[in-house]
Amino acid sequence: MVALPKEITVEESYLEGGGLWGWLTTTDHKRIGVLYGLTTLVFLLIGGIEALLMRIQLARPDNTFLSAHLYNEMFTMHGTTMIFLVVMPVGLGFFANFIVPLQIGARDVAFPRLNALSYWIFLFGALVLNAGWLANVAPNAGWFGYANLTESYYSPGLNIDFWTLGLLISGVGSVMAAVNLLATVINMRAPGMTFMRMPLFVWSVMVMFVLILVAFPPLTVGLIFLMMDRFFGTHFYRAVAGATPLLWQHLFWLFGHPEVYIMVLPAFGIMSEIVPTFSRKPLYGYPVMAYSTALIGFLSYGVWAHHMFAVGMGPVADSAFALTSMLIAIPTGIKIFSWIATMWGGDLKMKTPFLFALAFLIQFTMGGLSGVMHAQPPIDLQQTDSYFVVAHFHYVLFGGAAFALLGGLYYWWPKVTGRLLDERLGRWNFWTIVIGFNLTFFPMHIMGAEGMPRRVYRYPGDMGLNSLNMLSTIGAFLMAFSVLILLINIYKTRRRGAVAGPDPWDGRTLEWSIPSPPPAYNFKNIPLVRARDAFWREKYGYEQPPTAAPAPAAAQAVEHIHMPPPSLYPILIAAGITMTGIGFMLWPRIVVTGLVLTVFSAIAMAFEYPEAGAESEASIGPATGLDTRKVGIWCFIGSESLFFASLIATYMIYKGRDLVGPTAETILNVPLTTTTTFVLLMSSLTMVLAQDAYRRTDRTWGLRWLFVTIVLGLIFLGGQVYEFASFYHEGLTLQTNLFGETFYTMVGFHGAHVAIGVIVLAVLAGASLAGWFKVRNRDVAVEAAALYWHFVDIVWVVIFSVVYLMRAIAKA
């Protein structure tokens, strides 16, 4: 028999017990946060070494330390590593994972095993990204992967294959983490914690989660197109086939600029925690800060094309994106003024976290001012692809985000480990990295203005840039020395550092109300939140009694606390996904093995603890009264909507660009597809009937309607297979023309979603038939599956209208 969730009856640190196996199978959000932190630290060192090797190459003119090919690999992997494997996952994986449940008064995240799965998928994707180093075929076309440099004709080796698959795999993990943590924030806040009482860090990362869900789908679609071009001979980015390489730029930067704020928003949240704590004042202008965070998220999705001013979009598009790029500076400026106003007149405590916050404020502002320059197309045309751009984004992402993240590390390290980092070493760490950073990147403004292009591996000695390049290299090594100081500080204090106690900084938020390191269960009694800065108010009293609606009742004390159980299946699922991807690239024989392992492990994980929580209300969120599983499926559906929107938009762009072969007007079988569409729509009706039967606890009719839904889904899939076969018989293959490529990809991915839905319904029917679910769990599982099924049907209605009905209208 499989053990049920662990019951904890004594005070027990999350760090204690389990050994190595306990860490490999953990579902504790704090341990998973630590795993993310350790992983990103390793990749920080790898990315830093790559940067140092580039700076050695550029220290002297006409240097031969690195070859051109190896230099291309270095700057490609440095950018990819720092963005995808360090800055983003340390905010999403380490800080958000560890801190958010503590700040909102929750015992864990919404989906603990999904949380573990997101980490292992991220790790395996990161390993695939770096596996090219082992075979001397590291990615070499830039971290931005511009078409058509990434096409097989220009990059014939495995270099870009590792890059494409690594990003696809790790991206799946990022989306899973965002779904999980967004559902946690929405549904699992402690009683009384309204949105306007949440800490600003939670506000910031909540917007970050939304941005991940809407920004990653376009990147995923772009990477899928690239993978198909390289593996299956399609031509999504080949101009000679009627396509445009600019499609990649639009899809990539639809992700790429929200990604800037995905990396920066956690830094904003950390600033909003450190500054009030070390100023001993409430954050100035909390409501405006919260609204400005949401506005940044909204505007960040409308500025992507300012990365494309040099491609010739035209004056109208350039003007529109210049305007939105300037507008986004307004909510960012609000934050800067709010932090300054909070410090003004405060009782400032100049500890290491606050020093990093001050450095962030100055250096991020400098990066923002140069960013406003890039919002102007005429200036951007002069500065693009120069070292001025390199200086700008490093002031934003290193001088900004990374400095705040370092401040957050010093701030929350006592909570993570129970010990303080050494203050003297912390100041050495601070000053060496500040000086080294500015020595490295400030001269690049001058070099860029003087005409030094980026991404070149050597330069002539008569450009007048020798001294500035040497200065940048010296600064880079000073930063490396600073990182070494940080590592010494971590090593020294992990075992022998000063014991922190629960509240070493006189903090304001709920994480400081519990022991350091936290117990495995976080809170013995779920806290009652009666005001903003809840813990501060509890310590020092309320300025005035609450006059709003009556506060919810305090949580009852409990003797036994059910904790999420460990699971090995997240590792197995991640391994299966990775095997599938590597199979497409190297060994097609293991594709089926990877798919079988993934599907089997996912089903096994779903039924690993069939009785867990069946008798409790643990899945009902105290903040909303909604079932957490339904909140999670809605978050997932929101992200998938953007995925299909990107596929449909590509079809609309390429529609009519065919140079050869059959087109939609000559080949589509509208009567057949109308029939299968009707069948699929009827399956939504039968799914509703199945839901209703289960809601009435009528298992017999529930099972009957489930089986009817499964049969209708299979009939629809059979119609698609027949249609695809007839198209191939008439000469429309995946490689024939743009219509075939976009049609097969779009309809094929929808068919894959239908097939997944059929598998899910079949598994639910089998579980219900075998009596594996308690009534409440079964009802919610069927309802969540129904939401997914209805979503898939709605997507097909859109595809059918865009492809088939428009063809019928055009033909008429």
Cα 303 from Cα 329, distance rounded (Å):
11
SS3 499: strand
Tokens of 678: 């009707």
Tokens of 511: 């994480």
What confidence score (pLDDT) does residue 115 get? Answer: 95
Residue showing tokens 């695939």: 128
| Tally of CB atoms within 10 A around 311 | 12
Residue-wise pLDDT for 489-520, tens only, equals: 999 998 888 898 899 999 999 999 999 899 98
Element (H, E) at 6: strand 6-8
What confidence score (pLDDT) does residue 774 get? Answer: 61
- Residue whose C-alpha is closest to residue 216's, from 629, 585, 636: 636
| Tally of CB atoms within 10 A around 287 | 9
Tokens of 623: 């903040």
Q: Is the pLDDT of residue 410 over 80?
A: yes
Residue-wise pLDDT for 680-716, tens only, equals: 999 999 999 999 998 888 888 889 999 999 999 999 9
Domain with CATH 1.20.210.10 in the chain: 19-554
Over the range 355-394, which residues count as b (16 or more CB within 10 Å of their CB) and which as e?
A: bbbbbbbebbebbbebbeebbbbeebeebbebbbbbbbbb
- The number of C-alpha atoms within 13 Å of 486 and in the hemisphere containing its C-beta is 21
What confidence score (pLDDT) does residue 83 get? Answer: 94
Residues composing the chain: 812
Q: Is the pLDDT of residue 3 over 50?
A: no
How far is the CA of 618 from the CAs of 31, 106, 627, 628, in angstroms? Answer: 21, 11, 9, 9
539, burial (CB in 10 Å: exposed 0-12, middle 13-18, buried 19+) = middle
DSSP per-residue string spanning 752-799: HHHHHHHHHHHHHHHHHHHT-S-HHHHHHHHHHHHHHHHHHHHHHHHH
Q: Is the pLDDT of residue 358 over 70?
A: yes
Average pLDDT on 469-476 reads 96
What confidence score (pLDDT) does residue 1 get? Answer: 32
Average pLDDT on 243-265 reads 93
Residue showing tokens 């069939």: 610
Asked if residues 469 and 59 have their Cβ atoms less than 8 Å apart, the reply is yes
Tokens of 595: 């798919």
Residue-wise pLDDT for 126-167, tens only, equals: 999 999 999 899 999 999 999 989 998 888 889 999 999 999
What confidence score (pLDDT) does residue 731 get? Answer: 85
Asked if residues 283 and 276 have their Cβ atoms less than 8 Å apart, the reply is yes
- The pLDDT mean for the chain works out to 89
Cα 536 from Cα 469, distance rounded (Å):
49
Single-letter residue type at 382: Q
- The answer to whether the predicted template modeling score (pTM) of the entire model surpasses 0.75 is yes
Q: Is the pLDDT of residue 119 over 60?
A: yes
Q: Is the pLDDT of residue 670 over 90?
A: no
CB-based contacts of 567, cutoff 8 Å, min separation 6: 25, 27, 113, 116, 605, 608
Asked if residues 587 and 165 have their Cβ atoms less than 8 Å apart, the reply is no
Residue showing tokens 């949401």: 294
- The pLDDT > 70 percentage for the chain reads 93
Please list the helix, strand and coil fractions of the chain in percent, rounded to the nearest 5, in that order. 70, 0, 25
Tokens of 499: 């014991």
Q: Is the pLDDT of residue 6 over 60?
A: no
Confidence band, pLDDT 50/70/90 cuts, at residue 58: very high
Confidence band, pLDDT 50/70/90 cuts, at residue 314: confident
Query: How are beta strands 6-8 and 561-563 bridged, if at all?
Result: antiparallel
- Residue whose C-alpha is closest to residue 20's, from 571, 526, 547, 497: 571
SS3 543: coil
What confidence score (pLDDT) does residue 260 get? Answer: 92
Tokens of 698: 């009528």
How far is the CA of 146 from the CAs of 79, 425, 731, in angstroms? Answer: 14, 42, 31
Q: What is the DSSP letter of 59?
A: S
What confidence score (pLDDT) does residue 444 get? Answer: 95
Over the range 174-196, which residues count as b (16 or more CB within 10 Å of their CB) and which as e?
A: bbbbbbbbbbbbbbbbbbbbeee
HEC letters along 273-325: HHHHHHHCCCCCCHHHHHHHHHHHHHHHCCCHHHHHHHHCCCHHHHHHHHHHH
> Crossing angle for the helix pair 200-232 and 246-279, nearest 10 degrees?
160
CB-based contacts of 613, cutoff 8 Å, min separation 6: 5, 562, 619, 777
Single-letter residue type at 97: N
Asked if residues 214 and 642 have their Cβ atoms less than 8 Å apart, the reply is yes
Asked if residues 322 and 377 have their Cβ atoms less than 8 Å apart, the reply is yes
More confident residue, 555 or 435: 435
> 218 preceded by cis ω (within 30°)?
no
Average pLDDT on 654-660 reads 83
What confidence score (pLDDT) does residue 550 get? Answer: 39
Average pLDDT on 296-318 reads 89
What confidence score (pLDDT) does residue 618 get? Answer: 53
Cα 220 from Cα 212, distance rounded (Å):
12
As assigned by CATH, the class of the 661-812 domain is mainly alpha
> 148 preceded by cis ω (within 30°)?
yes
Give the dihedral sign, CA 143/148/149/150.
positive
HEC letters along 686-755: HHHHHHHHHHCCCHHHHHHHHHHHHHHHHHHHHHHHHHHHHHHHCCCCCCCCHHHHHHHHHHHHHHHHHH
Residue-wise pLDDT for 171-224, tens only, equals: 999 999 999 999 999 999 999 999 999 999 999 999 999 999 999 999 999 999
Residue showing tokens 């027990």: 12
The CA-CA-CA angle for residues 207, 209, 213, to 5°, reads 115
| The CATH number of the domain covering residues in 19-554 | 1.20.210.10
Cα 498 from Cα 534, distance rounded (Å):
27
Residue showing tokens 């500890």: 351
What confidence score (pLDDT) does residue 91 get? Answer: 93
Cα 728 from Cα 667, distance rounded (Å):
10
Residue-wise pLDDT for 588-627, tens only, equals: 888 999 999 999 999 888 888 755 444 344 577 676 778 8
Element (H, E) at 562: strand 561-563
Domain with CATH 1.20.120.80 in the chain: 661-812
- The pLDDT > 90 percentage for the chain reads 66
